[in-house]
Amino acid sequence: MRIAYCVLRRKKQSTHYTIRNTEKDVTIKIEERIDDLLNQMTLLEKIGQMTQVEKNSIEVADIKRLGIGSILSGGGGNPELNNPSEWRKMVTTFIEASLESRLGIPLIYGSDAVHGHNNVYGATIFPHNIGLGATRDPDLVRRIAIATAREMEATNVLWNFAPAVSNPRDIRWGRTYEGYSQDVEVISALGRAYVEGLVEMGALPSVKHFVADGGTTWGSSTRVSAENMALIDNDPTLANTKVGDWMFHYLQLGAWKLDQGISDIDEETLRRDHLPPYLAAIEAGALNVMASYSSWDGKRMHAQHYLLTDVLKGELGFAGFVVTDWEAIDQIDDDFYTAVVAAINAGIDMNMVPFKYHRFITTLQRAVECGDVSMARIDDAVRRILRVKMQLGLFEKPMCDTPLSVVGSAEHRALAREAVQKSAVLLKNDANLLPLPADTEHILVAGEAAHSVGYQCGGWTVEWMGKPGAITPGTTILEGLRAQSDTEIVFDPAGEFEQTAPIGLVVLAEEPYAEGMGDREDLRLSAEHIALIERVRSKVEKLIVILMSGRPLIITDQLPQMDAFVAAFLPGSEGNGLADLLLGAVPFTGKLSYVWPRSMEQIPLSAQNGQTPLFDIGDGLTT
């Protein structure tokens, strides 16, 4: 039996909206325009508006012919020449095609700009959300959203598939770094701030993934397994990842054990730990929500009428539209017709197809003609989509005039540097080793990650999973130290030094990953990491360790070897912000927003059972 109450207080949503770049209240006019358009639209044109296609799969002529509502770039969905100018040309081509459709309804272009406009080579890459959670600074997060929106708008991308307001209860999850915190109040405050920043710039935030995507149970995901690699051949998304022979390696490490799994929690827990950030985002003006791949109460979230329609649209008063995650409808049922009917009737308004859009359009058309999906449900979905497009001002101004020079601008990189400074957390500092003494003669620096923008940025950077190395312009920790200090710095990625030194710095990093590819069964430091620490420890009097990771890792046995330990998480393109902290140009102020477990036995969070973790939420030293 359903719980008939909500533990949240719902603020009445305003029915007054302002079209971008005007001061005129046009609420009534918008509804009248929607009525007029709906009366003119054919069923196929309505379904076209409910269809979102991946940019490499769309035939441009079909945008005009079918009235496609949205095009997107997935992770790594870049033009052949990846630069801001080519991005703008690409997106403009799609928008212009939509304006040539029978009714001239503009499409909206979407992208996963989850830590800056991160698909674009040369864009400013900000810290991932786990780092921003450590800042406890809503104003900073709002300013990052504004900067991200400006870089997006320069390429005519107005829909950002962010923020993630997940509450990761099991840090083995490969999307842990997409969550601001394990504290629902921190998540709500920062998610609200990010939405406010995008809305202020006239961009569309997509609050995700509704709901309880961070509450899945280990081993409950059925996406793919090492025992049945043949599933990959039937999965176009995974087949397109180009992981190849490495897939088996990732699966052996634990990939796809948590992501897209089952949230085996009761409704009270769902409402307490996972729902409040959505209310905060709606109150801040969010007009799009993305549904989760995960399941709850025996159903995929994409088929959850109770949560999508009764709770989100009814109880919380959400007036925007719900979009699926990438190819997620397909997971509801093996029979695609059954899956489409279930999703649309549950409250899905737009389908991120992303590949076989003709199949989706003809299937939904047949479902309406057979009476399995009502015209009222179709009209409601299209009304929601058109309302958002009108509120964004797309009918008046479908393309932007933001100069390309804002992408990766000095102003935005300075903001990213500030975010790095505020997000790093100092967790050990024996004898006040940090900041480094100005008279330090020389330092031994080790670890490939000390000189790798790719390791700093992590996943969702230019490519879906990111990669080590010079993946995009930025500054590394090593470059920052050398630029700001006269101290002699000797760098060896492997830490195989012949000389000794008073101070050594080891920079460790997780391999970049994204989504279920980053699910890991064991979060202890690797043998290579441990050996690197030991090699450098034997050559120095004092040792500093910086860990760049998408989640807390188990460091309990190695911590005694460190005189100072810094959790830098995934700081993004501006590694000089970490050099600022090490050298004392600015103080450490970051505070953990996650529980840092002492051992694997304390994972997931429910396994704590009153035991003391290594570090707790709120821990962090100040210099």
- Report the alpha-carbon distance of residue 286 to residue 292 in Å, rounded: 17
- The three-state secondary structure class of 508 is strand
- Report the alpha-carbon distance of residue 110 to residue 156 in Å, rounded: 10
- The three-state secondary structure class of 591 is coil
Backbone angles phi, psi at 286, to 5 degrees: -65, 130
Q: Centre a 10 Å sphere on the Cβ of residue 186 and count the other Cβ atoms it contains.
A: 25
Q: Is 425 exposed, middle or buried (0-12, 13-18, 19+ CB in 10 A)?
A: buried
- Report the alpha-carbon distance of residue 299 to residue 127 in Å, rounded: 34
Tokens of 23: 């001061």
Per this entry, what is the length of the chain? 623
| AA letter at 568 | A
Catalytic residue among 325, 349, 418, 510: 325
Q: Is 86 exposed, middle or buried (0-12, 13-18, 19+ CB in 10 A)?
A: middle
Q: What b/e sequence results for 244-262 when a residue is b if at least 16 CB atoms lie within 10 Å of its CB, and e otherwise?
A: eeebeebbebbbbbbbbbb
Residue 325 is among the residues annotated as catalytic for this protein: yes
Give the HSE-up count for residue 40: Cα atoms under 13 Å, Cβ half-sphere. Answer: 12
Contact between 281 and 210 under an 8 Å Cβ cutoff? The reply is: no
Q: Is 226 exposed, middle or buried (0-12, 13-18, 19+ CB in 10 A)?
A: middle
Using alpha carbons, select from 568, 566, 431 the residue that is nearest to residue 502. 431
Give the HSE-up count for residue 42: Cα atoms under 13 Å, Cβ half-sphere. Answer: 12
For residue 358, what are the contacts with CB-CB under 8 A and spacing of at least 6? none
- Give the DSSP letter string of 53-94: EETTT--HHHHHHHT--EEEE-TT---SS-SHHHHHHHHHHH
Beta strands of 400-461 (E only): which ranges? 425-429, 442-446
- Report the alpha-carbon distance of residue 372 to residue 350 in Å, rounded: 17
Give the HSE-up count for residue 549: Cα atoms under 13 Å, Cβ half-sphere. Answer: 26
- The three-state secondary structure class of 456 is helix
Contact between 580 and 480 under an 8 Å Cβ cutoff? The reply is: yes
Residue 327 is among the residues annotated as catalytic for this protein: no
Backbone angles phi, psi at 238, to 5 degrees: -70, -35
Contact between 472 and 461 under an 8 Å Cβ cutoff? The reply is: yes
Contact between 132 and 183 under an 8 Å Cβ cutoff? The reply is: no
Catalytic residue among 259, 515, 519, 574: 515
Beta strands of 101-206 (E only): which ranges? 108-111, 159-160, 204-205
CA distance to 115, 191, 214, 300, 599, per residue, from 164 (Å): 11, 8, 10, 19, 27
Residues that are catalytic: 325, 515
